[in-house]
Structure 1
């Protein structure tokens, strides 16, 4: 399949697939003489794994480490995904129940104990780490955690650098080449640490204005930056959905 076909199939942007290729996360099995990327069935299986890990909140760097490991086993990974997603569903179901009870409590329909108000919240353990230690061993996980801890400041600096670059072009039109190139990098960077569809990306831009906390923090890099980013993000999302 060509890159546009893969994008249409999965809902991932062509630019994101290009980025995955550039960082070595998902390299197509074939590139034609004309420069077209051709993805094989095996590539699509790898992409599925990547998206499963992203759904569970894994950053791209950690996903790359896992699927590139000589000990990586696809079947074991699928079992891991299944267990984690079931656990995630269980926690979400519990939290939904807590929210519903809290609504009833707010209306005066029921009484809630202090303990009931916090059912479903659990920050005591990392289920991925526990499973990963079983699959990949303590040493591999400890090394991955060490890298992640060491990258925290670097990650923040990457965000700050891009904020500063966006601030430099904030006086241009949101649909200008400079603005769209910079906001495209913002989209890619966000998707390294989460999972944003084009619609979610556009919605996030609106949140930068609707929530004054976002506006205040973003505008520290330049007055009017939050509004500019919202408009540029909307253009970026809308043009790539056509």
Structure 2
């Protein structure tokens, strides 16, 4: 007769909240084999099996596939910890992303309770994060990027969101004004047009305090060549506005 260290699938299910169907599947693929199976095919799990199951559940929360979890149990302690370390970084990334969402929702509920949530801004989180990563890779060793990072560190998360909202409003106002000039057939080389680039420069300096004419030239290239920026600038505006602004920037910095 089995001692109290063995449990039926139903008992394991109650303890761990894992369905008996899942336990059977884990058995079939060899991930969690019951320590004892009697002559009638009844399965019994030892307390050590439950400990292993808890490890499996933990690894699943780290987004490891069942195949990778099987491989995990075959590794040395050093290699196991290397796997955990790799997935730890991913979990930190997910946590930070969730914190951003929480901050945005908090900002919306406090400051815009009588308005419907702006999904464009909500979806902008992923885009902004991608831009930050790309900027770090491309310009991480430049004075411009360091100026940007130093500027961001002086704000808490809520202040960053407020600053970003205000900056985005300024960008949109600038784009609308430039779009009107384009629609009114003003040339990008016209002084009346390119003098507005001074406004763009001031907006950029809210994010990158040391932004100068060379930085403006970088932005001109970005507006022309990065489809994501072009799409954002031209949204509900002239399809060539991004190119128009780039030409105006070059006229301004001549």
TM-score computed with the length of structure 2 as normaliser: 0.37
Q: Which has the larger radius of gyration?
A: 2
Of structures 1 and 2, the one with the larger relative CO (CA 8 A, separation 6+) is: 1
TM-score computed with the length of structure 1 as normaliser: 0.39
